[in-house]
Structure 1
Amino acid sequence: MSEHTGSQSSSHGGDRGRRRSRRRGGGGREGRETRPRSREKDKDNSASGPSGSGPIKAPIILAKPHTEKNRDSSTSGSGSSDSKPIVLIKPREDTSSASSSQSTTSGTAAAQVAPSDGFHGDQSGRGQPTQQPTYQIQRNVSSVAAFSESSQTRLAPPPEMTQPVKLVDDSLNWCDSGIEMLLDQTDFLVVGVVGMEGVGKSTILSLLAGNHPEQSNRSFVFKPQTEETLETAGHQTVGVDLFVTSERIILIDTQPILSASVLDQLIHNDRKLPPEVGLAENWAEVLSLQLAAFLMTVCHVVVVVQDWFTDINLYRFLQTAEMLKPPTPAPSHDAPSSNVSLDTEGDYFPAVVFVQNRATREDFQPSRVQAMKTTVDRLLQHASMRYKNSVSMSLNGLMPAQQKSPSRDVSLFLFPDFPHKPAKQNGKMDGVASVLSLVPDYQGHPSPQALTDSFRNQIFSVPRTPLTHHSLTEKNWFHYAARTWEGVRKSNLMAEYSRLLT
């Protein structure tokens, strides 16, 4: 019994000595071993047998799947109870991605293993955790943030426009700057304006864009003619301008048709004329026809503005432009039949609205308005344009309702000459202006603001007939308009018509 206790005490003393030498760093290789290495040694001993008599082998792969670790821990029941689990620093991904990343990085798995107590390993670099998984997590977070930011940017509406952009420049070249203001959605309306020089086309479009009649001309979206332009008998708008409102209304302003100032520029600038056009006068007329045919192809509504009633040449010009208008593209084989709502002949024609600008007090009389409608109806009775039932002066209580049939109601709207604010001289109004300021607002017609609101609401409520056999988005419309403009410029019908003019 004493011998047995002596052997036990000696064994305990030997264990204490080995522990002290292990703490002080002595005792050969076993003293230099660290805690993670001791854990792996315990695992190897437990796997080799309960006696632990096998040789100690250095671990080859430290990173194991969780299933194998659980299996090893269940089979090594005699292992040390104070060993801490091995923690793998990995990104928070699904199981499939984590297992694939572990299988691809099995050769360098020792660099991704770190104990929970923050151990950094020995000088050989074994057991040192790397920051690659942390960097991978940051990279994933940044990519997700970038994706969400790009999606929000793509879905966000473009900035609201404050001034128009060029659609066709003074050299008759197409400009691509307007596509940045368009969206990939189909709920939009295209309104174009055509008219002779100085009739107020830009003013009418500015009212549609949201300006008020009481505002100064400088605040209008489409700048009207300035005093210098009027004195030099020039035109303000050059080429074609584009403006998109917040209600997704696309407004198109064009240079005047049959304009003497455009002809004057062609003569003085010595611009090279096409070979099929002999004279500059013919080229000015052909250019006007190209602009009108372009609007009749790409617009839902074409507003024809005139400041006196009426010019027969204007209606002949509209019928000629309708004849030279390029045909609507034929539908493809995969086009749905529900989108086809064009005329029976398959050609598209816009809704035409006539605006009588600078109308006098007598023009607002019901009998005079009815006479204007009858004249327009007789002049365009053989035209294919939809010039009826778009707008009316009888709506919103502007004028008494006529006894005419609704199917015979021509789209005609009247605007008075908007009064300008009295000018002050030396800080005081002159005598006439001060007397006119005391006169009531009613002058034989509704107020300019009431007329503007009614006209805007009726134009925006015009049925939006599809321009083609397919449903177009705003950006698709832009590309369609670009192809239409190139087709109009290179049209054989236009070339043949210009030859007949000579």
Structure 2
Amino acid sequence: MTTRKIAKDYEPKENNRPTFILKTREGENRAVSPSQKNGGKKDHPENHPQGVVQNKAPEPRPLTMCQEMNNCIKFMDENLQLCDNPVDYLYDQQDFLVVGIVGGQGVGKSTILSLLTSNYAKNIFPVHGLSHHETGTHCTNGVDFYVTKNRVIYLDTQPILSCSVFDATTASFEQKKSPTDFTNSESHNLEIQSLEFTAFLYSVCHIIIFVQDWFVDPNLVRFLQTAEMLKPSSTTNLDQDYVEYYPHMLFLHNKAELKFYSKVFATSKLQTHSGLDMSVTSKDGQLNLFLIPFITNKDEPTIHENEKELIEKLRRKIHGITRNPMTPAILTEKNWYHYVSKVLEAIKKSHLSLEYGRLMP
């Protein structure tokens, strides 16, 4: 009897032990991620010491450094043909700003751009000197090019509506017997040539600096509006939901009235009120106007300091402007260079300037 009792007391203990073991196995067989199921042994660092290195994302390649510029080079020659050298100074990246300048002969276009780039080098752009005044000739031929370390591209242009430029272009045309991009046998006209050239700048620049001195010329204001009309479209797809590109227009003048520009450009699509003014803090509704004073003596500290402050303020305003896309596709610096050549071809093939020339009195 005693033996049976011991056996009965022992039996339940044997039955409880498998239950305890099953619980342990159930805990060991809990759900795991597929990567742990398939690669438990594989993920051990001793089994594949190079596994971690192989799974790393590829490191980004450093940007190829271009040559640094010490002075300006030709972007377009005296015949307004696109040069190849500027592409060597351009990166394949999208964060860049193009600043062009427009104005008559001897108004200070090259001087303004030289002041804007004076923190890199002095007198980067050749300026209009006494010899040019005495002979009545212009200084800049075609378009000069300079790009800063901050990826700001400055384009210094030949004067618009200049008889000196027209004479030089006519002489070149007669010698080579071949038309330039903005001059051909049918539209060999000073105003048409300048209009096509300005319309070209409207298409390839983020900011246009329009320089005048002495007084506000209403004829030049009408000229800017006509060039806006002749500007080629930045896209050929009419069905695409794309807003036509227009650059920021900055009026740089010695003496001017704000109301004059505001009234005349009230219906213009050019961005004339985008914060490129002389105020410290940008305010809505202010005209993009800068007044540069006469500098009589560079040795006078007050005048020199005022000049430096104005140029620094102008530089900050330009660098901080909104960079609207020129085309539906985002352009890199090198893409922009190739886009320039396409705009040249579009202007050459456009009949708008010829039609406008026929309607001129």
TM-score by length of 1: 0.55
Aligned mates of 1:195, 1:169 — CA distance in 2: 18
Task: Note the C-alpha offset of 1:332.
Answer: 10
Seen in structure 2, the aligned counterparts of structure 1 residues 270 and 469 have a Cα distance that, compared at 3 Å, is closer
Aligned mates of 1:376, 1:307 — CA distance in 2: 15
Aligned mates of 2:348, 2:208 — CA distance in 1: 20
1:409 is matched with 286
Instruction: Give 3-state SS (helix, strand or coil) of 2:101's partner.
Output: strand
Instruction: Give 3-state SS (helix, strand or coil) of 2:245's partner.
Output: coil
Instruction: Give 3-state SS (helix, strand or coil) of 2:223's partner.
Output: helix
Aligned mates of 2:348, 2:139 — CA distance in 1: 23
Name which one, 1 or 2, has greater alpha-carbon Rg.
1
Task: Note the C-alpha offset of 1:499.
Answer: 2.6
TM-score by length of 2: 0.75
1:321 is matched with 227
Aligned mates of 1:245, 1:392 — CA distance in 2: 22
Task: Note the C-alpha offset of 1:270.
Answer: 6.0
Structure 2 residue 358 is matched with structure 1 residue 481:
no
1:349 is matched with which residue: 236, 246, 262?
Answer: 246
Instruction: Give 3-state SS (helix, strand or coil) of 1:310's partner.
Output: coil
Structure 2 residue 324 is matched with structure 1 residue 465:
yes
Q: Which has the higher contact order (CA 8 A, sep 6+)?
A: 2
Structure 2 residue 139 is matched with structure 1 residue 236:
yes
2:37 is matched with none
1:64 is matched with none
Superposed CA offset, 1:53-101 (max 9, x none) = xxxxxxxxxxxxxxxxxxxxxxxxxxxxxxxxxxxxxxxxxxxxxxxxx
2:86 is matched with 178
Instruction: Give 3-state SS (helix, strand or coil) of 1:416's partner.
Output: coil
Structure 2 residue 260 is matched with structure 1 residue 375:
yes
Q: Is the 8 A contact 2:99 2:152 kept in 1?
A: yes
2:276 is matched with 391
Structure 2 residue 217 is matched with structure 1 residue 311:
yes
Q: Is the 8 A contact 1:331 1:470 kept in 2?
A: no
Aligned mates of 1:256, 1:495 — CA distance in 2: 21
Structure 1 vs Structure 2 CA RMSD: 2.7
Task: Note the C-alpha offset of 1:226.
Answer: 2.4
Aligned mates of 2:72, 2:286 — CA distance in 1: 33
Amino acid at match of 1:250: I
Seen in structure 2, the aligned counterparts of structure 1 residues 190 and 270 have a Cα distance that, compared at 3 Å, is closer
Number of aligned residue pairs: 296
Superposed CA offset, 1:196-239 (max 9, x none) = 00000011111222359xx9xxx311110122222111111111
Seen in structure 2, the aligned counterparts of structure 1 residues 289 and 332 have a Cα distance that, compared at 3 Å, is closer
Task: Note the C-alpha offset of 1:284.
Answer: 1.5
Instruction: Give 3-state SS (helix, strand or coil) of 1:395's partner.
Output: coil
Aligned mates of 2:66, 2:238 — CA distance in 1: 32
**Percent of aligned positions with the same letter in both sequences?**
39
Superposed CA offset, 1:265-292 (max 9, x none) = 2455563562323xx5xx2211111111
Unmatched 5+ residue regions in structure 1?
Answer: 1-150, 364-368, 423-436
Amino acid at match of 2:134: E
Amino acid at match of 2:225: Q
1:208 is matched with 116
Task: Note the C-alpha offset of 1:382.
Answer: 1.6
Instruction: Give 3-state SS (helix, strand or coil) of 2:292's partner.
Output: strand
Aligned mates of 2:350, 2:81 — CA distance in 1: 16
Structure 2 residue 349 is matched with structure 1 residue 490:
yes
